[in-house]
Amino acid sequence: MANFDQELDASGLNCPLPILRAKKMLKEMESEQILRIIATDPGSVKDFDSFAKQTGNELLESSEEGGKYVFFIKKK
């Protein structure tokens, strides 16, 4: 997925920091905008899945490449 509106690089941060930073960025974004998140914490896969369900935002894509986890979340 190539199109996104904002990017958050949470590399090197452990739970719950990637979620907290994503939450803060999403708060400032418009509805329907997409946030791309890069994380290195393996726990972030489960965390962002739960985060999307709890907040009603849509987790469009989740992938892992070379020890980095990339997520695309669309703001509700």
Instruction: Clarify whether 49 is annotated catalytic.
Output: no
Q: Which of 4, 5, 6, 15 is catalytic?
A: 15
Q: How far, CA to CA in Å, does 1 sit from each of 28, 54, 65?
A: 22, 23, 14
| Contact assessment for residue 1 and residue 37, using Cβ atoms and an 8 Å cutoff | no
**Which run of H or E residues covers position 8?**
strand 6-10
Q: Which residues are catalytic?
A: 15
